[in-house]
A and B are shown apart, each in its own frame.
Chain A
Amino acid sequence: MNGALPRLVFLLGLLVLVSLLGGCRQRGGEPAAELNYRLKWLYNINTAGDLYAQEHGFFTSRGLKVTVKPGGPERDAIRELELGRAQFGVASADQVIRALAKGAPIVVIAQLFQQNPLQWIYRSAGACYASPRQLRGKTVGITFGGNDETIMRALLAKYRIAPDEVNLFSVRYDYTPFYRGEVDLWPIYRNAEGIVIAEKMAKAGEQTGFFVPDLFAVRFVANSLITTRSMLEENPGVVRSFRDALLSAWQEAMAPANAARTIALVHAYDQGTPAEIIAKQLDATRQLMLPENGRLGRIDVAAWQQTEKIMLEQGVIDSPVAVEKALLPDGL
C-alpha cells in the first residue's frame, strides 16, 4: 500500500502529459493531407463564402481536402494554427496584431471585409451623427475589452472628445437598454444582428441608422484569412490554392445572380435566421466586402497600419509590431 499512491499520482501525471503532448501535434511542416480551416464565429452570413467553397467543390477542384470548422467565443484560430490543429483560419485584425505582439508566427493572406462591419446602430428620428462631435452628451454602448471599445476610444481621441463628455455604457448580449432608449448608440455587426434589430425596430415604427467609424477616417480592419509563416514558406502552392479557392467562392457567393443559392446554403447551416433576413444580410455583406472599386480579398496595408497605430495609442499593445511584414503581397 505504501508507495501505491505516489505511483498512481505519477501515472496520472504521465497520462495528462501524454494527452497534452498529443494535442500539440506536429506544426506547420509537411503538407497536410487534410486541411482544417477554423472560422471566427458560428455559421452565419459572415461565413457564406466559406460554406460556398465547401459545398460547391471549390477546394476539391484544386486538389485540397478541407474541413471547415465553425468558430465561437472560446475558439481562437490563431492558437489552433500554432498548435497545428488548423492550417488556415479567420481572425480579426486586433487578434492578429495582439498575436504578432506576442511573437505568434502568423501571416495574413487575404482581408475579407473591406469595411469593418462593427458599427453602432441608433434611432434616426431626431438624431443624425454627421460628425463624431455629435456624440457629446450621448450614451454610447461599448463592450469593455472588446475591439468596439478600442475603435470608439480612438474616434473620441481623434475628434478631441474627452471620455467624460460621452457616457460609455457597458454592453452585453441583452439589447433591452437600447430598446428602452437608455442607450443612444449600440455596437452591432451591421450585416448580421444589425439587420435583425433594424427590422424589429422598423416593425415597431422606429427608423434606425448606423454610425460608421470608417466614414470618419477611423479604419479598423476586421476579419482576415490567416495561416502560419511555416505553412507559407514550406507549402506556398497549398496556400495559394487555398486562398484562390476561397476568394473565388466568396466572389460567387456574393454575386447577385447566385443570391438564391447563397441564401439557401446559409439558411441550411443557420436555420434560426429566416431566409428573408439572410437575403438582407447578404446585401449588407456584399457592400462591406465589395465596396465600390474594391477587390475581394484585397489587403489594405494603410488600414492595417492605422489599426496598429490605434492599438498602440490605446495601450492595447506595448510596442509597434510592423504589421505590414505579416501581410502577404498579392503575388504570394
Chain B
Amino acid sequence: MLHKRLSQFLIIYFLGLGLLLAVKYCFGLSDYVIPGFTDMQNTAQAVAAGYLRAVLDTLGVAVIGHVLAIALATVVAIVGRPDNLLGTMIKTAAYNLQAYPIVAVAPIIFILLGDGLPSRLLIAAIICYFPLLLSFIGILGEPVAGIEHFYVVTGRMRWQLEVKIRAFENIHKLITVVTGSATLAMVGTIVAEFIGADSGIGYSLRIALYQSDIAKVLVALFLIGVFNSLYLVALELLGLAVRKRMGVEQRTQQ
C-alpha cells in the first residue's frame, strides 16, 4: 500500500517536473522563470532540513485538526441525521457555510486568535469539516431498512443502536470519506500557514514566493506530497485494522 501510494505520487511529481523542464529548455527560459536541474538540486540541499521540519510541523497540526473535524462532524451528523426541522437546518447550514472561501474567513480568525497554533488548527479543521459533515449526515441519515425494521417493530430501536447499525453497514464508505478528507486537512493547514502563521511549510512557501524562488516551491511541493501520501497510507492501514476488528472483511469475503 505504502509503495503504491508513494510511487503514484512520485510518477505524477516527476512527470510534472519533466514537463516544466521541457518547457524551460524548449523556450530557453531563465532559472528565474523555471529553475534548472542544478538550481533545484542546490536549493534542495540548502533547504531540505528546514523544510522537512516545517512539513512535520504542518503534518502534526493537520492530523490534530483532522481528528477534531472528524469528532465534531460525527457529533453534528448524529444530531442532524433525523429528517426533522433540526436535521434540515443543520444540513442547510452546512451547505451554506462551506460555500464561504476560507481565504476570506481566515483573516478574521487570525485577528481573533492570533497567528499561533489555535488559528492553524481551526482553519485546518474548518476546511475538512464541512465535506466530512455532509458525507456523515448522508451516511448516518440513510436507514438500513432490512436490519432496522426488526428493531423498530419490536420497539427496541434506540438512537445509539440506529447509529451503530448505519455506521457498521457503511464502514467502508466512512473510512473512504475520512481518508479522503485527510488531504483537505493538510491543504487547510498549509493555507492557514500561508495566510497568517509563523511556522510550517505554508509559511515557508509564502517566503519562497516573496523571494520569487520557484526551486524552493518545488522542493516544498515534493515534501508535502511525500508526507501527505504517508498520512493517507497510515489512515488506510488504520481503516483496514478497524474493518478487520469489526469483522467486516470476513463478512465481505463470505
Contact = CB atoms under 8 A, between A and B. Distances in A.
A136 interface: no
Contacts of A146: 210
A172 B194 CA distance: 11
A174 B111 contact: yes
A104 B196 contact: no
A294 B36 CA distance: 41
Interface string A9-39: 0000000110011001001000000000000
A82 B27 CA distance: 9
A6 interface: no
Nearest to A20: B23
Given A102-B39, A173-B107, A82 B30 contact: yes
A105 interface: yes
A interface secondary structure, majority? loop
A300 interface: no
A176 to B, nearest CB: 6
A90 B115 CA distance: 32
B212 interface: yes
B37 interface: no
A145 B207 contact: yes
A104 B107 contact: no
A159 interface: no
What range describes how many residues of B lie at the interface?
Answer: 20 to 34
B23 A103 contact: no
A303 interface: no
B29 A82 contact: yes
B19 A16 contact: yes
A21 B23 contact: yes
A82 B198 contact: no
A288 to B, nearest CB: 22
A200 interface: no
Interface in B125-141: none
A312 to B, nearest CB: 15
Contacts of B195: 172
A245 interface: no
A73 to B, nearest CB: 8
Interface string B23-58: 100110111110100010000000000000000000
Interface of B: 19, 23, 26-27, 29-33, 35, 39, 107, 110-111, 115, 195-196, 198, 206-208, 210-213
Interface of A: 16-17, 20-21, 24, 27, 76, 78-79, 82-83, 95, 98-99, 102-105, 143-146, 170, 172-174, 176, 316
**Can you list the 8 inter-chain pairs with the closest CB atoms, starting with the nearest?**
A145-B207, A102-B32, A102-B31, A145-B210, A103-B30, A104-B32, A104-B30, A99-B32
